[in-house]
Amino acid sequence: MAEISIIGSGSWGIALAVLLHNNGHRVTVWSAIEGEITALKETRKLKTLPELEIPETIEFTGDLEAAMENKELLVTAVPSIYVRQTAARMRPFCKNGQVVVNVAKGIEEATLMTLSQILQEELPMAEIAVLSGPSHAEEVSRGLPTTCVAGAEKKETAELIQNLFMSPAFRVYVSPDVEGIEIGGALKNVIALAAGIADGLGCGDNTKAALITRGIYEIARLGMAMGGKFETFCGLTGIGDLIVTCASMHSRNRRAGILIGQGASMEEAMEQVQMVVEGVYSAKAGLTLAEKYNIPMPIIQQVNKVLFEGKSAREALEDLMLRDKTAESQALSWE
């Protein structure tokens, strides 16, 4: 049995808390919001996971020092926009060699840093890792079969996470490619916004397949330019996560995109979804990275125009379809 704390009490954090509890570990959940802690203690329910009964033995606290003390593993499960400030709060209580695994997905707009890079900067004494893949909290909380990837610089760190999280319903692979895992996890949310926008416009399966296929091409080209590995983008945290996020109504990014495609503004869509839409926060960073590495990313470019420049979704779709003629892959040529 391991002592584990989840830093963040959203749906993904709670789903993982229950998974780890069911694996036989002692789990504590921390939140910065006192009202959330009180409600979770009293009701053992989370509004976004209405079918889930939270076991009585999972502890809830607003005391960050107590949550981090003597823990074998810390799981950071706060939205990407709060990762830096949360890590800064964790710094005084973090021990040398303490393992911190990030399960959020995103890129910091101001610095273009991945979330693991932020954690490494704020918590230099810790061992930083990631856990990512096609894994909606709604399904993990119900015990539906799910697969993820644990990424870390050290193999033993990734294997520790693998051992703690593995269950008959939750299979974990290991990988050294932290950069590729994080780029895939962050930018798939932007492509999922595009997929949702297409759904809102009334497009069909052909359009969805095109966006997924060309989307992973954009992500992989940028990710490899940044040091990620081709195999990662072919795997669970690349094409796998992209497929589920573009296709599922559990996806807040797809749901927000549908509303935008139907005529809502970005702000209106985010308000209706009532959850953090990570793709909105990663879209500008993705475009800036594309420009920095000189990688054409037309889907992400058009999503930015719709989100932040007032371009209509219909016009953005037409501009994608009517771009200059080109080959499908620049790596293939006639003899």
Going 315 to 316 to 318 to 324, the CA torsion angle's sign is positive
Residue type, 268: E
φ and ψ at residue 217, rounded to 5 degrees: -65, -45
CA distance 262 to 61: 41
Place of tokens 């695994």: 101
Active-site annotation holder among 188, 208, 284, 305: 188
User: Kind and range of the H or E element at 281?
Assistant: helix 278-293
Residue whose C-alpha is closest to residue 247's, from 291, 276, 271, 215: 215
CA distances from 178 to 41, 160, 172, 198, 299 (A): 35, 15, 15, 31, 24
CA distance 9 to 29: 6
| Buried/exposed 242-279: b ≥16 CB within 10 Å, e otherwise | bbbbbbbeebbbbbbbbbbbeebebeebbeebeebbbb
How far is C-alpha 12 from the geometric centre of its chain's CA atoms? Answer: 10
φ and ψ at residue 42, rounded to 5 degrees: -80, -40
Give 331's contacts (C-beta < 8 A, 6+ positions apart).
Answer: none
The token pair that represents 105 in the structure block: 């997905």
188 is catalytic: yes
CB atoms within 10 A of CB 43: 11
Residue whose C-alpha is closest to residue 165's, from 101, 227, 222, 216: 101
- The catalytic residue positions are 188
